[in-house]
Amino acid sequence: MLSNTPPLAEYFLSGDYRADINPTNPLGMKGRMADSFGQLIHQMWSGRYAAFAPREFKAAVAYFAPQFSGFAQHDSQELMAFLLDGLHEDLNRVTDRPYIEKKEMNDTRPDPEVAAETWALHKRRNDSVIVDLFQGQFKSTLKCPKCRKVSVTFDPFMFLSLPLPGSGTKLVKATYVNGVNAPEVYEVQVGIFGKARDLLSAVAERKKVPLSSLCLAEVCKGEIRKRFDLHTSLANISKTDEIYVYHIDGSEDPHASVRVEVVTRILRWQLSGGVFSARKRSQSFGYPLLLRLPASLRYRDLCQRLHSHFNLFIDKSNLDSTPTSPVSMQRESGIDDTLKYRFALEIIKADAKTVERRIISEDADETVELDEDCVLRAEWDISDRTTPFDGKVKVQKHPLARGTNAHRNPCWVAGLGASAHQYSTCTTAWNSSKPKNN
């Protein structure tokens, strides 16, 4: 950058800098920094080199500033500050610096006149090509709130720290889930210091649903990690966070219903060295749901309600036609054949995340009591290799705000499943299709 500053490059290429070297300056480097920089400029502009290694210049810098020795990474601004200050002291034309008392300008003269006087005082101690090209003045004004006295000073500077202008907005990707239709991914432009209300309001306007029916949550490893209230800041949400917007059905009586989180997992024999061990492994698949269910309902009704939601990522055509316990218990108890899923239910306390009780009932009419914000875990046992299931959920991506860079392409989320021949490849896959023009 300095070599491409025309006045500075011409100053060193012409050799005028040699006349200004101040070898007696106690703050300088005996002219060594100016000489090495001058040689570097001559070699860079000689036209003889396509590439040049500035070994002598680097050695001079490392000699006077050991922190820049070696080949470690350093801050460029620190090197620039050291170099300009060293060149200034080596090329300072003032050999005998007088003592000058800093004056406070309290008169009513115009600012240009006061600034010129202050600059002249500064040049009596500092006069070099670096001062001419790279230094300026600050005007500082202080006003006492009590006596109303105003103090004005002009101070020299060589570096200005300026904040980089920002857009003031950020793009948040959120998955909209209502438990009935396929989830949709929205990219919403919100303020950097926006609130959860801003994101939910944009989604509510797009989906034509009440704001009060939406809930914002962060999902991690198939479970809801955190729920956001309307006043929660979005500043800490990163691009890698899985943000979900849940539309909770308001048809249930709010006084006789509870909000319930539903997670889905599979239980299978753990494969070790090509051999199934006696230890079972539980792994999540699909995505968590947030539903409003009656606080008290029959086991049959609970399974049917969950079944309607699980259809989004479970392929019924792959279900085994000869299931065993606990599905056989469900069939014997009169549950619909469409509920031949090998899932058992657990109720997990909302506070300590401890299992409260496991529901495997032969009585379809047994009453199940649910608490507010409890977790229902539906677990499929495929450890006997007889219950293959797999499915796909289409997730459509929509831009919500102008100016977004959202790609309008559908994505497919593969549900975690297994077949009788593929028990070691149970993984969740995200496959993006080719962009689609809307």
Assessment of whether the complete model's pTM goes beyond 0.85: no
The CA-based dihedral angle spanning residues 349, 353, 356, 360, taken in that order and rounded to the nearest 10 degrees: 100
Residue 104, SS3?
coil
- Measured in whole angstroms, the distance separating CA 375 from the mean position of its chain's CA atoms is 28
Q: How confident is the model at residue 126 (pLDDT cuts 50, 70, 90)?
A: very high
Domain boundaries, the chain: 2-90, 111-157, 169-414
CA angle 414, 416, 418 (to 5 degrees): 115
What's the mean pLDDT in 308-313? 74
Please name which of 246, 180, 259 lies closest in space to residue 219, comparing C-alpha atoms: 246
Torsion over CA: 232, 237, 243, 245 (sign) = positive
**Which of 10 and 392 is assigned the larger pLDDT?**
10
| CB-side neighbour CA atoms (13 Å) of 73 | 0
What percentage of the chain exceeds 70 in pLDDT? 71
What percentage of the chain exceeds 90 in pLDDT? 22
Q: How confident is the model at residue 369 (pLDDT cuts 50, 70, 90)?
A: confident
pLDDT tens per residue across span 319-355: 444 333 333 333 344 444 444 445 778 888 756 556 6
Q: Specify the pLDDT at position 249.
A: 79
Please name which of 227, 243, 226 lies closest in space to residue 190, comparing C-alpha atoms: 243
The residues with which 217 forms a beta bridge, in sequence order, are 227, 244
Within 10 angstroms of residue 254's Cβ, the number of other Cβ atoms is 9
What is the DSSP annotation of 230-279? TT-BSTT--TTSEEEEEE----S-TTSEEEEEEEEEEEEEEEETTEEEEE
pLDDT tens per residue across span 230-243: 998 888 888 889 99
Using an 8 Å Cβ cutoff, are 358 and 345 in contact? Answer: yes
The arrangement of secondary structure in 169-414, i.e. its CATH architecture, is Roll (3.10)
Residues of the chain by 3-state class (helix, strand, coil), percent to 5: 25, 30, 45
Q: How confident is the model at residue 357 (pLDDT cuts 50, 70, 90)?
A: low
What is the DSSP annotation of 283-340? EE-S--EEEEEESEEEHHHHHHHHHHHHTTT--GGGS-SS--TTHHHHHHTT--GGG-
The CA-based dihedral angle spanning residues 195, 196, 201, 207, taken in that order and rounded to the nearest 10 degrees: 150
Cα 160 from Cα 157, distance rounded (Å): 8
Q: Specify the pLDDT at position 412.
A: 28
Using an 8 Å Cβ cutoff, are 312 and 182 in contact? Answer: yes
What's the mean pLDDT in 174-190? 87
Q: How confident is the model at residue 275 (pLDDT cuts 50, 70, 90)?
A: low
Using an 8 Å Cβ cutoff, are 118 and 101 in contact? Answer: no
Residue type, 223: E
Residue whose structure tokens are 């004056």 = 103
